[in-house]
Amino acid sequence: MKKGLRVVVTMRDSLKSFLHKVVLVVMVVGPLVATAYAIVLLWNRAVSWPDLAILAGMYIASAVGIGIGYHRMLTHRGFDAPAPVRAFFLALGSMAVEGPAIEWAATHVKHHAKADQEGDPHSPLEGFWHAHLGWLFRDRMVRSGVWAKPFENDRVAHFIDRTFWVWAVLGFLIPAGLGYAWNGWNGLWTGVLWGGVVRVGLVHHVTWSVNSICHTFGRRPFATKDESRNQWVVGILSLGEGWHNNHHASPQTAVHGFEWWQVDINGYIIRTMDKLRLIKHVHYDRPRAARRARRGQREPVAARSPAERV
């Protein structure tokens, strides 16, 4: 009797896990399919090839700004860059309208310090919807205090942070201007629609998927103390940020695609800038702790400051 009950419970849990993963896949793919369907329905009425080119260009610029500027450069100090380069990438990140640079980085510092534990701003342990979107409505963004301390002397970051809305609005004016140059006033409005509104929605959704999808299912080549996972769909859509278990195993490493087949557009850009000497002190190597974790061994963790835990 007990054996039969265990079989039923196992089957029920397996079904729940399968259905949960189906929901997550729909969450990732659904908005993309809906966008593609809208394009088909509106073709030659409210969307054309120039609109799609503007959408693609602005999406890549915003995703690069978040991935390279906000994340790998500012938050984790994966490389050093002169002020113009730093300002450029942080301005692109601001155009994604995910919040001011310091606020975004401080929140991410806290996430790494408390990943999937009490105090993590967006852990799926509080529910998938909380991790994906709900945490934003509970005032979980960090604006000051110990988590923002690593950036207190970063003048470039503070300037871009204070002028956030200038860059956010510019993220809509640029596609509007490109659309107007192509097709007059009609092109201006479709440029704002696709290169502005739709682009921001897609970038937000993909970024949130790193918080939710990549802490819920996928591959775990490294034995980190959190639930971070590599998810190839998110990896491609986010230009490399979806190799999340790699990242949590070695946060300061500037290139997240550790294997040749792990597509990491942001990493390719960083390598190219390094070769052109636009940046310096790029962190490429995985630390010893990450290599040992891959062999299934745990590296003892000493008490560290919030700045050292990212």
> For 162-174, how does the pLDDT look when each residue is reduced to its tens digit (9 = 90+)?
999 999 999 999 9
Query: Which of 199, 169, 195, 170 lies closest to 182, judged by CA?
Result: 195
Give, to the nearest 10 degrees, the angle between helix 101-113 and helix 83-94.
90
Which of 37-46, 210-219, 253-262 is predicted least confidently? 37-46
Do 74 and 101 touch, CB atoms closer than 8 A? yes
Q: Quickly state the pLDDT bin for 24 (edges 50, 70, 90).
A: low
CA nearest to 62, candidates 99, 86, 89: 89
Q: What is the mean pLDDT of the chain?
A: 83
70 and 90 Cβ atoms separated by less than 8 Å = yes
Rounded to 5°, angle at Cα 258 from 253 and 260 = 140
Runs of H (alpha helix) within 163-297: 164-192, 199-212, 232-237, 244-249, 265-275, 288-294
Torsional sign, CA 245, 249, 253, 257: negative
The pLDDT > 90 percentage for the chain reads: 53
Say what the pLDDT of residue 145 is.
Answer: 76
Look at residue 307 and tell me whether its pLDDT is greater than 50.
no
pTM of the model: 0.82
The half-sphere exposure of 204 on its side-chain side, counting CA atoms within 13 A, is 14
Task: Return the pLDDT at 304.
Answer: 39
- Both tokens assigned to 141: 């963004």
Has residue 298 got a pLDDT over 80? no
What are the φ/ψ torsions at residue 150 (nearest 5 degrees)?
A: -60, -15
Q: Most distant CA pair in the chain: distance in Å? A: 75
- 68, 43 contact by CB (below 8 A): no
> In which band, very low, low, confident or very high, does the pLDDT at 302 lie, cut at 50, 70 and 90?
very low
